[in-house]
Amino acid sequence: MSGRFEKAITIRQAIGNIDDRTFLLPAIQRNFVWSPQQICVLFDSLMREYPINTFMMWDVTSPEIKNKYRFYSFLTDYCQRFKESNDYVPTQGDFKDFKAVIDGQQRLTSIYIGLKGTYAYKQPRVWWPNARNDQVLPPRRLYLDLAKGLDGADNDSMAHYHFRFLTEKQVSAFSDDPSSRWFEVGKVLSLPDVRSVDEIPFEVVLPYLEKHGLASNSFARKALTRLYYLVRHEEVIHFYNEESQDIDHVLDVFIRTNSGGTPLAFSDLLMSIAIANWDGDARKDIDELVTEVRQSSEMQFSIGRDWVLKTCLMLTGADVRFRVKNFDSDQVSIIQQQWPEIRACVVATFKLLRKFGLNDQSLRAKNAVIPLAFYMYKQSFRDKPLYHTINNINYLREERLALSRWLHMVLLRGIFGGQADGVLTKMQRLLARHLDKGLFPLDEIIEAFTATNKDLRFDEAYLRGLLDIQYEDSRCRSVLSLLFPEINENLQLDIDHLHPSSAFAKAALAKKDFLQKDPGLMAFYQSSINWNSIANLHLLNASQNRSKKDLSLADWMTEKDTGFKPVDLLLNDDDSLHFAHFQTFCEKRREALMQRLRRNVVVSGTLSMIEEVLDEDEEIEAVA
């Protein structure tokens, strides 16, 4: 055995070890992910003497490990989106021996935040800010209601003690409410010391309660006594201390001990390996890219470290599968050397997706972006990688149309659902093979995936189903983009109803005499398959959308600044746009849309999907 169980310590001792950096976190630990409710439940469990499991520490004494691997401090002031990462602690040189937390980071961080830190999350019904803003994300501290406990039958967590994260404003508002008396949990650390546990009720608790008008409250007396004893006297932090300085052994222990609870993504472990071979702070570099893609107004897409790592493998021509050998020192060195270019390519790619009209909700498969980034990284235009110029509207329109067409097709077909490594590997080889074509090889890709379970072709039934997609469906943008690729890509386009949705409200339809006399026609108007589907939707720029509002289609089309003609809607000049003729409008437009879809997505004539289909494992094996 290379470790042993150590004598348990108190919570106050653990807090002190975090403060003086005797306890640190290894890079293999993920960011803090616990919610305020989880922290409250943890404190309730501690107060009720429930076991919270053993912690595991790694006793780091080797100068080589201190110099070669990265360690981080505990998070003390969590802020949703804006402060989720831990700060790096340099352990090189003569840094003291310390303990790295292998198992128990979430619990220890929660205990620290509850006693000495803050937890900030967004207020409801307000927009996300571009930077940390205490008005939108006010810091909250953990409080305990000393007035009374909770009825376990009346709360989902079955808690007995009422812990809650509150802002200063909330605490002030509660101060006049006699039914609750909120005690800031961290203040238990500043209450007087006593030599004996027997002195706690009379020397510490009673004086405090008398000062705050709670001396006669038996619950307050018991709760504060229990909290004081829990934090300052009870040895509740039990831990196993791993003493081996063999990093492979420690990683094995880490994987085994973190297999339960909220599982760690394998990318977190790979991140630690990458960090060990990265000259600089890989986690900081990658997290900054993730933050920029998520927060920049030109992008606002949610990606994670695992996506970035897989993209790095793809762009550098490596095996895209998440295997330890794919992050050895040689491969990480290649990634690091190319990191500025990889980063710039990723940013340019997501900016392009915004030009395609996509947002985080409509881009359902983030892995679909990786082949686009690979192509723009490897393809050149005017002696520079394509990503340098792809967003310049003066050039490369045909290239953008091909990229957009492929992306919307794969999103609608769900090509990247499930295991994506096989598709990425095949795309990596296909794109590299056809770089000399000078244009995104869409036809070659479609042919390569024909008759597999990743077939990009659409049959008639599938196409007709696409026209039934509703306004709220995230696929709606992709269908309309395939139907109308010619719409000005330099404009921000919104999806809107042609015949306004308000006209189909129950009260509005009840006022139409021509519908009251025809129940069948009324049913047609009421059906969302007709008024809320692609047949009654279009892409409008911001100016057109503002001018339209709830105007009837016929009235709006007669306005001179609309910029729309019937042909733009795939209709003839003599087709009626009046509301009374909505059924005819819908039927004619649906057929016109169907014809255009056939032309834009079904390649090489009319195809049937009744062909041999490889199962996913066969396909992955075939391209591995």
Distant-in-sequence, close-in-space partners of 231: CB < 8 Å, separation ≥ 6? 10, 11, 12, 115, 188, 189
Question: What integer is the mean pLDDT of 349-354?
Answer: 95
The single residue listed with the structure tokens 């000393």 is 146
Residue-wise pLDDT tens digits, 247-277: 767 777 776 766 554 455 556 667 767 776 6
The mean pLDDT of the chain is 88
HSE of 489 in the Cβ direction (CA atoms, 13 Å)? 25
* Tokens matching residue 151: 């009825």
What's the longest Cα–Cα distance across the chain? 95
* Tokens matching residue 162: 């009422």
At residue 311, the pLDDT reads 96
Question: What integer is the mean pLDDT of 271-284?
Answer: 75
Query: Residue 155's pLDDT band (boundaries 50, 70, 90)?
Result: low
Query: Residue 563's pLDDT band (boundaries 50, 70, 90)?
Result: confident
At residue 176, the pLDDT reads 77
Question: What integer is the mean pLDDT of 564-593?
Answer: 93
* Rg (the chain; Cα; Å): 31
In sign, the C-alpha dihedral spanning 610, 616, 622, 624 is positive
At residue 615, the pLDDT reads 35
Query: Residue 553's pLDDT band (boundaries 50, 70, 90)?
Result: very high
Distant-in-sequence, close-in-space partners of 592: CB < 8 Å, separation ≥ 6? 570, 571
Residue-wise pLDDT tens digits, 160-216: 999 999 999 999 988 877 778 999 999 999 999 998 899 999 999 999 999 999 999
Please report, as a single letter, which amino acid is at residue 214. Answer: L
Query: Residue 34's pLDDT band (boundaries 50, 70, 90)?
Result: very high
Q: Report pTM.
A: 0.61
Per-domain boundaries in the chain = 4-242, 265-456, 472-600
Helix (H), strand (E) at residue 514: helix 513-516
- CA 560 vs. chain centroid, Å, equals 44
Per the CB < 8 A criterion, the answer to whether 610 and 457 are in contact is no
d(CA 107, CA 43): 10
The more confident residue out of 150 and 235 is 235
Q: Which range (287-296, 426-435, 507-516, 553-562) has the least confidence?
A: 553-562
Query: Residue 280's pLDDT band (boundaries 50, 70, 90)?
Result: confident
